[in-house]
Protein backbone atom coordinates (compact mmCIF):
# COMPACT_ATOMS: atom_id res chain seq x y z
CA UNK A 1 0.00 0.00 0.00
CA UNK A 2 2.85 2.32 0.90
CA UNK A 3 4.52 1.40 -2.34
CA UNK A 4 1.46 2.37 -4.31
CA UNK A 5 1.23 5.74 -2.56
CA UNK A 6 4.91 6.35 -3.20
CA UNK A 7 4.56 5.58 -6.89
CA UNK A 8 1.48 7.81 -7.16
CA UNK A 9 3.31 10.70 -5.50
CA UNK A 10 6.27 10.32 -7.82
CA UNK A 11 3.88 10.34 -10.83
CA UNK A 12 2.17 13.51 -9.70
CA UNK A 13 5.52 15.18 -9.03
CA UNK A 14 6.83 14.23 -12.45
CA UNK A 15 3.66 15.48 -14.15
CA UNK A 16 3.86 18.80 -12.32
CA UNK A 17 7.47 19.25 -13.37
CA UNK A 18 6.51 18.69 -17.03
CA UNK A 19 3.40 20.90 -17.06
CA UNK A 20 4.72 23.84 -15.04
CA UNK A 21 7.51 24.91 -17.47
CA UNK A 22 5.12 24.65 -20.43
CA UNK A 23 2.57 26.85 -18.63
CA UNK A 24 5.27 29.36 -17.77
CA UNK A 25 6.48 29.41 -21.37
CA UNK A 26 2.93 29.84 -22.60
CA UNK A 27 2.40 32.82 -20.32
CA UNK A 28 5.69 34.42 -21.34
CA UNK A 29 5.11 33.96 -25.14
CA UNK A 30 4.60 37.44 -26.76
CA UNK A 31 1.23 38.09 -28.48
CA UNK A 32 1.18 37.43 -32.23
CA UNK A 33 0.45 40.43 -34.51
CA UNK A 34 -2.90 40.27 -36.37
CA UNK A 35 -2.71 38.94 -39.93
CA UNK A 36 -2.44 41.68 -42.55
CA UNK A 37 -5.36 42.11 -44.93
CA UNK A 38 -7.02 44.69 -47.17
CA UNK A 39 -10.76 44.67 -47.73
CA UNK A 40 -12.68 46.91 -50.18
CA UNK A 41 -16.45 47.35 -49.89
CA UNK A 42 -19.15 49.59 -51.32
CA UNK A 43 -22.82 50.12 -50.65
CA UNK A 44 -23.66 50.65 -54.33
CA UNK A 45 -21.53 48.38 -56.56
CA UNK A 46 -23.79 48.98 -59.60
CA UNK A 47 -24.72 52.42 -60.94
CA UNK A 48 -26.97 53.19 -63.92
CA UNK A 49 -26.98 56.24 -66.20
CA UNK A 50 -27.72 57.18 -69.80
CA UNK A 51 -24.99 57.11 -72.41
CA UNK A 52 -22.62 60.06 -72.05
CA UNK A 53 -23.04 60.34 -68.28
CA UNK A 54 -20.35 59.89 -65.62
CA UNK A 55 -20.27 57.46 -62.70
CA UNK A 56 -18.98 57.93 -59.15
CA UNK A 57 -18.49 54.87 -56.95
CA UNK A 58 -17.93 55.42 -53.21
CA UNK A 59 -15.62 52.68 -51.91
CA UNK A 60 -14.44 51.96 -48.35
CA UNK A 61 -10.92 50.62 -47.72
CA UNK A 62 -10.31 48.64 -44.51
CA UNK A 63 -6.77 47.60 -43.56
CA UNK A 64 -5.87 45.20 -40.76
CA UNK A 65 -2.23 44.90 -39.68
CA UNK A 66 0.42 45.85 -37.16
CA UNK A 67 1.81 49.00 -38.79
CA UNK A 68 0.79 51.78 -41.12
CA UNK A 69 1.15 51.16 -44.85
CA UNK A 70 0.79 53.19 -48.05
CA UNK A 71 -1.40 51.45 -50.60
CA UNK A 72 -1.14 52.07 -54.34
CA UNK A 73 -4.57 52.59 -55.90
CA UNK A 74 -5.29 51.37 -59.43
CA UNK A 75 -8.56 51.67 -61.36
CA UNK A 76 -9.03 49.72 -64.59
CA UNK A 77 -12.00 49.61 -66.95
CA UNK A 78 -13.16 49.55 -70.58
CA UNK A 79 -10.81 50.88 -73.24
CA UNK A 80 -11.10 54.61 -73.78
CA UNK A 81 -12.87 55.36 -70.48
CA UNK A 82 -11.53 58.14 -68.27
CA UNK A 83 -10.86 56.70 -64.80
CA UNK A 84 -9.50 58.47 -61.75
CA UNK A 85 -9.69 58.30 -57.95
CA UNK A 86 -10.35 61.10 -55.48
CA UNK A 87 -10.64 61.22 -51.68
CA UNK A 88 -14.09 61.23 -50.18
CA UNK A 89 -13.30 64.87 -49.36
CA UNK A 90 -12.09 67.06 -50.96
CA UNK A 91 -13.17 65.74 -54.34
CA UNK A 92 -11.01 68.08 -56.42
CA UNK A 93 -7.82 66.06 -55.78
CA UNK A 94 -6.88 63.04 -57.86
CA UNK A 95 -4.87 60.48 -55.90
CA UNK A 96 -2.68 57.48 -56.76
CA UNK A 97 -2.16 56.10 -53.26
CA UNK A 98 -3.43 56.30 -49.70
CA UNK A 99 -1.84 55.72 -46.27
CA UNK A 100 -3.78 53.67 -43.74
CA UNK A 101 -2.83 53.33 -40.07
CA UNK A 102 -4.35 50.49 -37.98
CA UNK A 103 -3.82 52.55 -34.82
CA UNK A 104 -6.20 55.14 -36.30
CA UNK A 105 -8.84 52.69 -37.42
CA UNK A 106 -7.19 51.58 -40.65
CA UNK A 107 -10.13 52.72 -42.80
CA UNK A 108 -10.82 55.46 -45.32
CA UNK A 109 -13.16 56.22 -48.24
CA UNK A 110 -12.27 56.99 -51.85
CA UNK A 111 -14.35 57.79 -54.94
CA UNK A 112 -13.82 55.99 -58.23
CA UNK A 113 -14.85 58.27 -61.12
CA UNK A 114 -15.59 56.70 -64.51
CA UNK A 115 -16.54 58.56 -67.70
CA UNK A 116 -17.02 56.91 -71.11
CA UNK A 117 -15.41 58.65 -74.11
CA UNK A 118 -17.60 61.56 -75.19
CA UNK A 119 -16.79 61.15 -78.89
CA UNK A 120 -18.32 57.66 -79.01
CA UNK A 121 -21.92 56.55 -78.73
CA UNK A 122 -21.46 53.84 -76.11
CA UNK A 123 -23.69 50.82 -76.69
CA UNK A 124 -26.15 50.11 -73.89
CA UNK A 125 -24.95 47.40 -71.51
CA UNK A 126 -22.93 46.68 -68.36
CA UNK A 127 -19.27 47.69 -68.12
CA UNK A 128 -16.93 46.45 -65.36
CA UNK A 129 -14.51 48.70 -63.47
CA UNK A 130 -12.00 47.28 -60.98
CA UNK A 131 -10.36 49.11 -58.08
CA UNK A 132 -7.25 47.54 -56.51
CA UNK A 133 -5.30 48.63 -53.41
CA UNK A 134 -1.86 47.06 -52.94
CA UNK A 135 1.05 47.46 -50.53
CA UNK A 136 3.57 44.70 -51.18
CA UNK A 137 1.88 41.34 -50.63
CA UNK A 138 -1.13 42.94 -48.96
CA UNK A 139 -3.75 43.40 -51.68
CA UNK A 140 -7.47 43.83 -52.10
CA UNK A 141 -9.80 44.59 -55.00
CA UNK A 142 -13.45 45.17 -55.81
CA UNK A 143 -15.47 45.00 -59.03
CA UNK A 144 -17.83 47.86 -59.84
CA UNK A 145 -20.42 47.92 -62.61
CA UNK A 146 -21.46 50.90 -64.75
CA UNK A 147 -24.77 50.21 -66.52
CA UNK A 148 -25.20 52.33 -69.66
CA UNK A 149 -28.80 52.81 -70.78
CA UNK A 150 -29.89 53.94 -74.22
CA UNK A 151 -30.16 57.64 -75.03
CA UNK A 152 -32.88 58.44 -77.55
CA UNK A 153 -32.67 61.61 -79.63
CA UNK A 154 -34.35 62.79 -82.85
CA UNK A 155 -32.86 65.68 -84.77
CA UNK A 156 -34.50 67.64 -87.60
CA UNK A 157 -32.60 70.06 -89.83
CA UNK A 158 -32.91 71.53 -93.32
CA UNK A 159 -31.52 69.09 -95.92
CA UNK A 160 -28.09 69.79 -97.41
CA UNK A 161 -27.49 72.73 -95.05
CA UNK A 162 -30.32 74.71 -96.62
CA UNK A 163 -31.54 77.86 -94.82
CA UNK A 164 -34.42 77.81 -92.35
CA UNK A 165 -36.57 79.64 -94.90
CA UNK A 166 -38.32 78.88 -98.16
CA UNK A 167 -40.12 81.01 -100.78
CA UNK A 168 -43.65 79.73 -101.45
CA UNK A 169 -46.44 80.69 -103.81
CA UNK A 170 -50.01 81.10 -102.59
CA UNK A 171 -52.34 78.38 -103.86
CA UNK A 172 -49.51 76.14 -105.10
CA UNK A 173 -47.51 73.22 -103.65
CA UNK A 174 -43.95 74.14 -102.77
CA UNK A 175 -41.27 71.56 -101.88
CA UNK A 176 -38.91 71.84 -98.93
CA UNK A 177 -36.68 69.00 -97.69
CA UNK A 178 -35.56 68.19 -94.17
CA UNK A 179 -33.13 65.62 -92.76
CA UNK A 180 -34.28 63.26 -90.02
CA UNK A 181 -31.28 62.05 -87.99
CA UNK A 182 -30.94 59.61 -85.11
CA UNK A 183 -28.54 61.32 -82.71
CA UNK A 184 -29.11 58.76 -79.95
CA UNK A 185 -27.44 55.48 -79.06
CA UNK A 186 -30.25 53.08 -80.02
CA UNK A 187 -32.65 52.52 -82.90
CA UNK A 188 -35.75 54.72 -83.08
CA UNK A 189 -39.05 53.18 -84.15
CA UNK A 190 -42.42 54.35 -85.48
CA UNK A 191 -41.54 57.94 -86.34
CA UNK A 192 -44.39 60.16 -87.54
CA UNK A 193 -44.57 63.81 -88.59
CA UNK A 194 -46.84 66.73 -87.81
CA UNK A 195 -46.89 70.49 -88.30
CA UNK A 196 -48.19 73.80 -86.99
CA UNK A 197 -49.23 76.08 -89.85
CA UNK A 198 -51.35 79.15 -90.67
CA UNK A 199 -55.08 78.58 -91.12
CA UNK A 200 -56.02 77.30 -94.57
CA UNK A 201 -52.55 75.94 -95.36
CA UNK A 202 -51.83 72.25 -96.09
CA UNK A 203 -48.56 70.47 -95.32
CA UNK A 204 -47.77 66.86 -96.27
CA UNK A 205 -44.69 64.70 -95.67
CA UNK A 206 -43.17 62.12 -98.00
CA UNK A 207 -42.78 59.57 -96.55
CA UNK A 208 -45.32 60.37 -93.87
CA UNK A 209 -43.91 57.70 -91.52
CA UNK A 210 -40.54 56.03 -90.90
CA UNK A 211 -40.63 52.50 -89.48
CA UNK A 212 -37.16 52.73 -87.89
CA UNK A 213 -33.83 54.50 -88.15
CA UNK A 214 -30.61 53.24 -86.62
CA UNK A 215 -28.23 55.33 -84.57
CA UNK A 216 -26.15 57.83 -86.54
CA UNK A 217 -28.19 57.47 -89.75
CA UNK A 218 -30.04 60.20 -91.66
CA UNK A 219 -33.13 60.09 -93.90
CA UNK A 220 -34.36 62.91 -96.11
CA UNK A 221 -38.05 63.83 -95.90
CA UNK A 222 -39.80 65.94 -98.55
CA UNK A 223 -42.28 68.49 -97.23
CA UNK A 224 -45.02 69.86 -99.49
CA UNK A 225 -46.14 73.32 -98.33
CA UNK A 226 -49.30 74.77 -99.91
CA UNK A 227 -50.46 78.18 -98.65
CA UNK A 228 -54.08 79.14 -99.03
CA UNK A 229 -54.84 80.82 -102.34
CA UNK A 230 -56.10 83.82 -100.36
CA UNK A 231 -52.82 84.24 -98.49
CA UNK A 232 -51.36 87.70 -98.93
CA UNK A 233 -47.66 88.28 -99.44
CA UNK A 234 -45.47 88.19 -96.33
CA UNK A 235 -43.50 85.96 -93.97
CA UNK A 236 -45.18 83.11 -92.09
CA UNK A 237 -43.82 80.57 -89.58
CA UNK A 238 -44.33 76.84 -90.21
CA UNK A 239 -43.30 74.37 -87.46
CA UNK A 240 -42.30 70.84 -88.45
CA UNK A 241 -42.20 68.09 -85.83
CA UNK A 242 -41.05 64.44 -85.63
CA UNK A 243 -42.16 62.05 -82.89
CA UNK A 244 -40.83 58.53 -82.33
CA UNK A 245 -41.94 55.64 -80.15
CA UNK A 246 -39.03 56.08 -77.74
CA UNK A 247 -38.20 59.77 -78.10
CA UNK A 248 -40.10 62.91 -77.28
CA UNK A 249 -41.08 65.29 -80.06
CA UNK A 250 -38.61 67.71 -81.55
CA UNK A 251 -39.43 70.48 -84.00
CA UNK A 252 -37.90 73.14 -86.22
CA UNK A 253 -39.42 76.45 -87.32
CA UNK A 254 -39.28 77.39 -90.99
CA UNK A 255 -39.99 80.88 -92.34
CA UNK A 256 -42.21 80.65 -95.42
CA UNK A 257 -42.15 83.79 -97.55
CA UNK A 258 -45.34 83.98 -99.60
CA UNK A 259 -45.04 85.40 -103.10
CA UNK A 260 -48.05 86.46 -105.19
CA UNK A 261 -48.66 84.15 -108.21
CA UNK A 262 -47.51 85.57 -111.57
CA UNK A 263 -51.09 85.75 -112.94
CA UNK A 264 -52.29 87.80 -109.99
CA UNK A 265 -49.14 89.85 -110.15
CA UNK A 266 -49.82 90.89 -113.74
CA UNK A 267 -53.48 91.39 -112.89
CA UNK A 268 -52.44 93.77 -110.14
CA UNK A 269 -50.17 95.62 -112.54
CA UNK A 270 -53.04 95.87 -115.04
CA UNK A 271 -55.38 97.26 -112.41
CA UNK A 272 -52.80 99.85 -111.42
CA UNK A 273 -52.36 100.88 -115.08
CA UNK A 274 -56.13 101.21 -115.55
CA UNK A 275 -56.44 103.29 -112.38
CA UNK A 276 -53.56 105.56 -113.40
CA UNK A 277 -54.98 105.96 -116.92
CA UNK A 278 -58.42 106.81 -115.52
CA UNK A 279 -56.97 109.41 -113.18
CA UNK A 280 -54.99 110.89 -116.07
CA UNK A 281 -58.09 111.25 -118.25
CA UNK A 282 -60.04 112.86 -115.42
CA UNK A 283 -57.26 115.35 -114.79
CA UNK A 284 -56.94 116.19 -118.48
CA UNK A 285 -60.73 116.76 -118.85
CA UNK A 286 -60.92 119.06 -115.86
CA UNK A 287 -57.81 120.94 -116.96
CA UNK A 288 -59.45 121.82 -120.32
CA UNK A 289 -62.30 123.49 -118.53
Q: Is the distance from CB of 33 to CB of 64 less than 8 angstroms?
A: no
Sheet holding 250-259, edge to edge: 165-169, 250-259, 234-243, 188-196, 209-213
Tell me what the mean pLDDT of segment 13-24 comes to: 53
- pLDDT tens-place string over residues 253-272: 999 999 866 555 555 556 67
What distance in Å separates the CA atoms of residue 127 and residue 146, rounded to the nearest whole number?
A: 5
Can you give the pLDDT at residue 35?
A: 87
| CATH class label, 37-149 | mainly beta
- Please state whether the predicted TM-score (pTM) of the whole model is above 0.85: no
Output the CA torsion sign for 278, 279, 281, 282. Answer: positive
- The DSSP bridge partners found for residue 83 are 114
Do the domains at 37-149 and 154-262 have one common CATH topology? yes
Question: CATH topology for 154-262?
Answer: Immunoglobulin-like (2.60.40)
DSSP state string for 41-64: E-S--EEEEETT--EEEEEEEEEE
Domain boundaries defined on the chain = 37-149, 154-262
- pLDDT tens-place string over residues 162-197: 999 999 999 999 999 999 999 888 899 999 999 999
Amino acid sequence: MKLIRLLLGLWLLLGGLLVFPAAVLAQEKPPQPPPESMNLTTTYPTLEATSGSSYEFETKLSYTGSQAKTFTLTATGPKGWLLYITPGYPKDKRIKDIRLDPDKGGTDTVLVNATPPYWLNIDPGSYQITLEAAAGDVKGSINLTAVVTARYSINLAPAQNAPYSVPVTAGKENTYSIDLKNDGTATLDDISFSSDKPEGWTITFTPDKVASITTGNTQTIDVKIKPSSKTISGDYIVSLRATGKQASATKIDIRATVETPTFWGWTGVGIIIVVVAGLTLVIMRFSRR
